[in-house]
Amino acid sequence: MTPSKHQFVGKKVKLGELCEIYSGGTPKRSVSEYWTGGNVPWVKIGDITEKYVSSTEECITQAGLNNSSAKLFKPGTLLYSIFASIGAVGILNILAATNQAIAGLVIRDNSLDHDFLYHYLKSREVASKTSGRGVAQSNINLTILRNMQVPVPPLVVQKEIVQNLEIVSRQLKMAKLQLSKLDSLVKSRFVEMFGDFACYETKPLIKCVDCIEAGKSPKCLAFSRKMAEPGVLKLSAISSGVYCENENKALPRSVSLTIDKVVHANDILLSRKNTPELVGRSVLVKHTDGNIMFPDIIFRMHPLSPINAMYLSYLLAGPLLHSIQSLAHGSAKSMSNIPKSELAKLSIPIPALNLQNEFANFASQVDKSRFGGMLHLLNSLSGIMHASFFSVADTD
């Protein structure tokens, strides 16, 4: 559709008036001809990792496209996730279809700059996570999306905002790259220090920790807690390999924290139930406000002597991750689950404690660089980016 002439400048306008909005679909997995040998890129939320989506993990066939609610979107279509991870945003660089968790937005009005809308939707994602309100519910439908209010300042202002945000985006990307390099440095050091685990004494995991316990999942509100109010972690709090306490759901006022399920510093948390690629992911909690619980789909453990917590956490998250994930039960269509009884038998190599402590000291020094420098810069840039965007763009 050819965009219309400018008509919304200086107003807040419903997204549905600015764009054509469609949802995608999934061909039946049971029909092999819809998937085998497919050459139509098919976008899932996990494929939206950068501003531009240029490749996908899976493809469907033309028959799959024709016999499902999936739609083919042209390059330049904005993608917006409406289920599960709400508010993930990307721009198609290729001709592709999407699953039903992703809406395709095609701008139909010249009042709106393509990159401006991308950044506005991106800022809504950040706002929903930090405010605990907005679009942070479990999912939204197309009606809610079409009714979303979007500010439309003059095009010259939109382009100026985009130019400034692109500069900050590049700085953010560089900061994230530096953090990634620090992570790689610690992982490399781990391999250098411990090498071939076959030479060490081993014990089953249950003999190396005080217990392996699941948390509790009371009914929560649809949004995140404010500041240090009571809450319950979401799986996304540990799925990235870094503990993210702001990934949570608020507890209703009528529900109290279960004290023995509250997260503490030095807890090792491991996802016992998740998608096949994320099940078994674990983190070491280094800082917490002590007012948040872990859910029943996460295991918690504390190492016993002679096991260092930092050593065990890197072991579980790195060399043993594949072994942990192989314990999971479930199909590709469902959430995989790791039985406690099988995780308890996992063989843990035990190097000399002084060697474990040496590694832990090294990792702690790297963490100081991460949290004292690069992570602070990353958070500051992200905050400046979106606060500035709202102050300029989100006006009446």
Q: What is the pairing mode between strands 292-293 and 231-233?
A: parallel
Domain around 290: 201-350
State the CB neighbour count (10 A cutoff) for residue 236. Answer: 17
Asked if residue 241 and residue 134 are part of one domain, the reply reads no
pLDDT tens digits, 199-241: 999 999 999 999 999 999 999 998 889 888 999 999 989 988 8
Asked if residue 19 and residue 144 are part of one domain, the reply reads yes
Residue 390 in domain: no
**Residue finishing a domain among 312, 327, 350:** 350
Residue 258 in domain: yes
Asked if residue 253 and residue 309 are part of one domain, the reply reads yes
Asked if residue 68 and residue 143 are part of one domain, the reply reads yes
Residue 290 in domain: yes
Which residues of the chain fall short of a pLDDT of 70?
1-8, 10, 84-85, 125-139, 331-334, 370-396
Asked if residue 228 and residue 122 are part of one domain, the reply reads no
Asked if residue 263 and residue 319 are part of one domain, the reply reads yes
Close Cβ partners of 337 (under 8 Å, ≥ 6 residues apart):
272, 273, 279, 328, 329, 330
pTM of the entire structure? 0.64
Residue 147 in domain: yes
Residue 184 in domain: no
Residue 16 in domain: yes
pLDDT tens digits, 358-381: 999 999 988 877 665 555 555 555
CB-based burial, 298-333: b 16+ in 10 Å, e otherwise: bbbbbbeeebbbbbbbbbbbeebbeebbebbeeeee
CB-based burial of residue 335 (10 Å sphere; 0-12 exposed, 13-18 middle, 19+ buried)?
A: middle
**Residue finishing a domain among 84, 118, 153:** 153
Asked if residue 217 and residue 321 are part of one domain, the reply reads yes
State whether the Cα torsion 374-277-349-196 is positive or negative.
negative
Asked if residue 220 and residue 140 are part of one domain, the reply reads no
Task: Tell me the H-state helices in the chain.
Answer: 15-18, 62-66, 114-131, 142-146, 155-194, 236-239, 309-317, 321-325, 340-343, 353-369, 375-393
Close Cβ partners of 113 (under 8 Å, ≥ 6 residues apart):
155, 158, 159, 162
What does the alpha-carbon distance between residue 289 and residue 82 come to, in Å, rounded to a whole number?
31
Asked if residue 269 and residue 142 are part of one domain, the reply reads no
Residue 69 in domain: yes
Asked if residue 239 and residue 119 are part of one domain, the reply reads no
CB-based burial of residue 197 (10 Å sphere; 0-12 exposed, 13-18 middle, 19+ buried)?
A: middle
Asked if residue 205 and residue 142 are part of one domain, the reply reads no
**Residue finishing a domain among 92, 122, 153:** 153
Q: Is residue 335 within 8 Å of 275, Cβ to Cβ?
A: yes
**What φ, ψ does residue 292 adopt, rounded to 5°?**
-145, 140
What does the alpha-carbon distance between residue 24 and residue 20 come to, in Å, rounded to a whole number?
13
How many separate domains does the chain show?
Answer: 2
Residue 273 in domain: yes
Give me the CATH number covering residue 19. Answer: 3.90.220.20
pLDDT at 376: 52
